[in-house]
Each structure stands twice: as C-alpha cells, then as structure tokens.
Amino acid sequence: MPFSHHSHSGQFCKHAAGTLEDVVREAIRQGFRTYGLTEHVPRHRVDDLYPEEEGLSLDVLKSQFDAFLAEAHRLKEKYAGQITLLVGLETEYITDTDLTALDALLSEHGTRIEYLVGSVHHVGGIPIDFDRPTFDKALAAFSDDTHPDSMAAFLNAYFDAQYTLMQRFHPEVIGHFDLCRLYNPGLSFRDYPDALARIRRNVQYAVRYGALFELNAAAFRKGWDAAYPGDDVVEIVKEHGGRFTLSDDSHGPHAVGLNYHRLVGYARRVGIDDLWVLASPSLPDGASAWWEDPFWKGRGQT
C-alpha cells in the first residue's frame, strides 16, 4: 500500500471509530509509507453540531482538536521508524466565521499543522453529506423565484465556497472535489454550464498555486463506481496539468486502505499516469517519494 492524505478516528470524530493509534497501527500493518492524520477543525456555532455531538460544548470541540494535535505528534515521533505520519486538518466552511477561526487556529498552532485538506461539507449552512434528507433540505433551500433551477444554484454555491476556501488558505490537498454530487453520482456537469465554468476556474487556480487533487476512495463505499472526483472532473484537472494523490478518507482502522484496489484501477481507467505524495517537512531536500518526487516541504515554504 502507498499513502493516504486524509483520515479520521473515533477518538476525535464522533462519526468515526477506533483510536488514532489504532488507525496508525493499521496503516503500518498494511504497508503504508506515508499516512496523513487530518481530523476536522472544530465548528464554531452550536447550530452546526451533528446529531451525535448533541450536548457537546464548543469549548469541548476546541479542546478535542488540540488533543488531536498533541496525540498526532506523539504518534509521529513514536512510529517514525515505521511510517511517515503527516499532521494536518480537514477544513470546514459553513459561514465566514469558520474562515476567521481557521486563520486564528493556524496562527495559534503554527508549523504543528503541516498541511490542509481543503474540503466543503455544507452549502447554505446545511450539511450535504450527512444523509439524503439533509442533502435534499440543502437543495430545497435554493428553490425559489430567484433560483428557478435549484440544482444549478446549489452547484454554483458549492463551487464558489470551494474557490473562496482555496483563495484564502491555499490548501495543499483539495478534498473530495465533487462531493456536491454525492447523492447524484450520475449528474453531468456539462448540463450545468455555470457550474462547469466554476470547476474550470477552481481547477486552474489550484493548479497555479500547486495543490494536489485527491483521488478519494470513500466514494466507493458511498455506492459510486468511481472515486471522487468523477472522470469528467479528472479530465479537466489533467487538461490543466493538475497533479493527483491518494486518500482513503478512512473513518477508523476498519477503513484504512479500503477499496484501494478499486482506486488504483480507477486511476488507470481515467489515464492518470503519475501520483504525488506530500513530503514530511522533516525530510531532507531531495528525499524521494513513492512514484514521484515530492514538491512540498511544509506550509509556507516553497
């Protein structure tokens, strides 16, 4: 097994399972060379908590994230001889408050946060990947006289949020680029020209600053016959010279490397010839990576 840049554990994420160390041990058992630990950033409004978090205070979520960073760096040192662990986070963008808070979080922790997985999970303040009824609620929020085509407006809002996130933080990895069609995997962006134009804009911007686009295996366990992103987005990324990496987006040790055989098959089917991996900031310049040389040496460095 090669590498993953995106993972979660039940220790620090209520909809995942197992401890962070369980996840790391399973990655080692499967022969991963590099594994990214990227719990969600804390949310900043009680209204944004998920049902399984009912009763938790916002202060508890902040303390939980701080504890994640401490544990991740402990494991990074403990298992340094067996695996390269990268310590990052997965973003949220629900309201502008999340962006302001992320700025503060990055300033507070500095280089202890080595990279970002830039993801959007909400549109119009509503989760789009929790379950189908909640997704339908998010879609319905765009159904009014101002938006005669609710899906078109929904997609535009999703990709505009993604663009804002990229502009502000330059995340090293773009997380599940087309999560917006999770419950509509057959949706063709060609049928939504405004959304397609936004996709091209976002891809071009990410390519210019050097982001990696993750091939995310979680789409397979969600019932897709493709990874995120779908092959139409892959073609746009390839057209603009974008680079791809791998992520299992595991939510516990049971999902480490899950469907990676399908992920590799998908990469071959869509004509991806090279995969890239982030290099640990602690590696010496020129250290080699799996399949390709690393281009990244840590946040804020070139």
With bands split at pLDDT 50, 70 and 90, how would you rate the model's confidence at 145?
low
Q: pTM for the whole thing?
A: 0.91
Per-residue pLDDT, 97: 95
Instruction: Tell me what the mean pLDDT of segment 27-52 comes to.
Output: 92
Give the chain's length: 302
Q: Which residues of 55-75 are buried (b: 16+ CB within 10 A; e: fewer)?
A: ebeeeebbebbeebbebbeeb
With bands split at pLDDT 50, 70 and 90, how would you rate the model's confidence at 277?
very high
Mean pLDDT, the chain, rounded, equals 90
Distances (CA, A) of 259 to 97, 116, 185, 215: 35, 23, 18, 12
Concatenated DSSP letters of the chain = --EES-EE-TTT-TTS-S-HHHHHHHHHHTT-SEEEE-PBPPPS-GGG--GGGTT--HHHHHHHHHHHHHHHHHHHHHTTTT-EEEEEEE---SSHHHHHHHHHHHHHHGGGS-EEEE---EETTEESSS-HHHHHHHHHTT-BTTBSSHHHHHHHHHHHHHHHHHHHH--SEE-STTGGGTT-TT--GGG-HHHHHHHHHHHHHHHHHTPEEEEETHHHHTT-SSPBSPHHHHHHHHHTT-EEEEE--EESGGGTTTTHHHHHHHHHHTT---B--PPPTTSPTT---SSS-----STT--
- Tell me which of 44-48, 168-172, 191-195, 258-262 is least confident: 44-48
**What is the CATH architecture assignment of 3-296?**
Alpha-Beta Barrel (3.20)
Which of 98, 278, 119 shows the shortest CA–CA distance to 106?
A: 98
With bands split at pLDDT 50, 70 and 90, how would you rate the model's confidence at 136?
very high
Q: Is the pLDDT of residue 199 over 80?
A: yes
Q: Where are the domains of the chain?
A: 3-296
Q: Is the pLDDT of residue 89 over 90?
A: yes
